[in-house]
Structure 1
Amino acid sequence: MGHRSLRAEPPPQFVRTATEQRASAPAAHKLTGPTPAPIRYAYAPSCEGTDACDHWILVSARGERRWLPDAGDGGSLTLSPDGLRAAHWSATAGRFVVLDLKAETTRTLPVKGEDSIGELLGGRPPLLSLDGRHLLVQSDHLDKNDEVVLERPLIVDIERGTVTRLPGGETVVGWTAAGLALVRERSTDRLPGHVSTASFVIRSPRGEVIRRIVLPGNLAKDLFSPSGRTLATLAREIAPDGVVTTGVVLVGTSKGHPARTVVPRQPTGRQIAEILRWEGENALVVRTADARNNGAYHLLDPTDGAMRPIEISTPDVVDLPLNPMETALVLGSVR
Structure 2
Amino acid sequence: MSVLWRLCVAAAALLAAVWLIRGDGEPPVEFLTPEPKAPVPSAPAAAELTGPAASPIRYAYEPHCNDDSDGCTHYILVSATGERWWLPGARDGAPFVLSADGTVAVHPLEGRYVARDLTTGEVTKLPVKARDSAGEMFGAQQPLLSLDGRHLLVQHDRVDEDGELVLERPMIVDIRRGTVHRLPKDARIAGWTTEGLALVTEEPARDRPGHATSAAYVIHSPGGRAVRRFTLPGNLARGLPSPSARTLASLPREIAPHDVVSPGILLTDTRTGRTLRTVVPRLPAGLKADGLVRWESEDALLVRAEDRHRRSSYHVVDLETGAARDLRVDMTPVADYWLAPAEFSVRIGSAR
Q: How does the TM-score come out when normalised to structure 2?
A: 0.84
- The answer to whether the 8 A contact 2:130-2:138 is kept is no
Q: Distance in 2 between matches of 1:311 and 1:267?
A: 13
Give, as a single letter, the amino acid of the residue that structure 1 aligns with 2:193.
Answer: T
Question: Residue 89 of structure 1 corresponds to which residue in structure 2?
Answer: 108
- Map 1:31-46 to 2 at 5 A: 31-46=49-64
Once the two structures are TM-superposed, the CA of residue 319 in structure 1 deviates from its matched residue by 3.0
Q: CA deviation at 1:189?
A: 3.6
Match of residue 279 from structure 2: 262
- Contact conserved, 2:61 with 2:346, CA < 8 A, in 1? yes
Name the SS of the counterpart of 1:183 in structure 2: strand
Give the equivalent residue in structure 2 for 1:5.
none
Comparing 72-81 with 142-151, which one deviates more in the overlay? 142-151
8 Å contact 1:47–1:316 — kept in the other structure?
no
Please tell me the root mean square deviation across aligned C-alpha atoms, in Å: 1.9
CA distance, structure 2, for counterparts of residue 269 and residue 236 of structure 1: 18
* Change over 3 Å in CA distance of 1:158–1:21 after alignment to 2: farther
- Give 2:266's match in structure 1, choosing from 249, 256, 259: 249
Q: CA deviation at 1:141?
A: 1.5
Shift of 1:309: 0.4
Deviation string for 1:292-315 (max 9, x for gaps)?
Answer: 212111111111111110111235
Whether the 8 Å CA contact 2:64–2:342 is kept in 1: the answer is no
Residue 180 (str. 1) matches residue 200 (str. 2): no
| C-alpha contact (below 8 Å) 2:64/2:337 kept by paired residues | no
Structure 1 window deviating more from structure 2 (37-46 vs 23-32): it is: 23-32
- Of 161, 177, 181, the residue aligned with 1:164 is 181
Label 1:305 to 1:294 Cα distance change in 2 as closer, same or farther (>3 A). Answer: same
SS of the equivalent of 2:44 reads coil
Q: Secondary structure at the match of 1:327?
A: helix
Q: Map 1:225-240 to 2 at 5 A.
A: 225-240=242-257
When residues 20 and 261 of structure 1 are mapped into structure 2, their CA distance, relative to the original with a 3 A threshold, is farther
1:270/1:161 Cα in 2 relative to 1: closer, same or farther (>3 Å)? same
Counterpart residue number, 1:211 = 228
Unpaired runs of 5+ residues, structure 2, are 1-36
- Pick one of 274, 291, 303 that aligns with 2:291: 274
Larger Rg: 2
Q: Which amino acid aligns with 2:175?
A: I
Instruction: Report how far residue 125 of structure 1 moved.
Output: 0.3
Q: Which has the higher contact order (CA 8 A, sep 6+)?
A: 1
Q: Identify which of 55, 73, 84 aligns with 2:74.
A: 55
Q: Which residue of 1 aligns with 2:46?
A: 28
Q: Write the distance in 2 (CA, Å) between the matches of 1:160 and 1:105.
A: 15
Partners of 1:235 and 1:52 in 2: CA distance: 39
1:81-138 CA-partner distances (Å, limit 9, x unpaired): 0000001111x2x2100011002211000111324454xxxx1000111001111101
1:208-243 superposed Cα distances (whole Å, 9 cap, x missing partner) = 011011111111111011011101111432211121
Q: Unpaired runs of 5+ in structure 1?
A: 1-18
Q: Which moved more, 1:307-316 or 1:98-107?
A: 307-316
Selected match of 1:148 from 144, 157, 165 = 165
Equivalent residue pairs, number: 311
Q: Which moved more, 1:221-230 or 1:187-196?
A: 187-196
- TM-score by length of structure 1 reads 0.88
Instruction: Work out the CA distance in 2 between the residues paired with 1:267 and 1:40.
Output: 21
1:8 corresponds in structure 2 to none
Tell me what 1:194 maps to: 211
Shift of 1:20: 9.5
Alpha carbons of structure 1 residues 73 and 208: separation in structure 2 relative to 1, 3 Å: same
